[in-house]
């Protein structure tokens, strides 16, 4: 569903689970990719796009001052303060695939710190 309007992004990044590579049968992969939904919701992919385009780590932007105010108490989505995470006392693990095209090593290392 999401990949119906973000087709080139999904195709280039193998969002539907199976990337088209030299080692994978392209025709079968394209059929499989059209039959299986992505591993993320439309809202998650849109939020990811917002984070990339703004370069800021914030809550989801509803593109409406009224809706943002209703949800966050402010017209703009608030920043996510990663410094507060250790205060939660909740164990956190981070897993990154070596061949994940969306998880660049530099970004992963920065987030891990």
What tens digit of pLDDT does each residue of 64-87 get?
Answer: 999 999 999 999 999 998 787 777
What is the arithmetic mean of pLDDT over 92-97?
Answer: 80
How far apart are alpha carbons 33 and 16 in whole angstroms?
5
Query: What is residue 88's three-state secondary structure?
Result: helix
Q: From the CB of residue 3, how many other CB atoms can be counted at a distance below 10 Å?
A: 20
pTM of the model: 0.53
Confidence check: pLDDT of 36 > 90: no
What tens digit of pLDDT does each residue of 50-67 get?
Answer: 998 998 999 999 999 999
> For 1-113, where are the E strands, in sequence order?
none
What tens digit of pLDDT does each residue of 2-35 get?
Answer: 455 455 555 555 445 555 566 666 666 666 666 6
Helix or strand run (H / E) with residue 45 = helix 42-54
Picking from 8, 55, 16, the residue whose alpha carbon sits closest to that of residue 32 is: 16
């Amino acid at each position: 569903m999401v990949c119906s309007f973000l087709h080139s992004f999904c195709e280039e990044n193998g969002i539907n689970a199976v990337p088209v590579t030299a080692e994978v049968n392209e025709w079968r992969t394209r059929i499989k990719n059209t039959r299986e939904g992505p591993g993320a919701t439309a809202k998650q992919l849109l939020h990811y796009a917002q984070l990339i385009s703004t370069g800021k780590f914030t809550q989801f932007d509803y593109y409406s001052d009224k809706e943002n105010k209703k949800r966050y108490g402010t017209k703009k989505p608030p920043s996510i303060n990663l410094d507060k995470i250790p205060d939660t006392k909740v164990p956190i693990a981070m897993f990154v695939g070596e061949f994940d095209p969306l998880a660049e090593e530099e970004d992963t290392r920065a987030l891990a710190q």
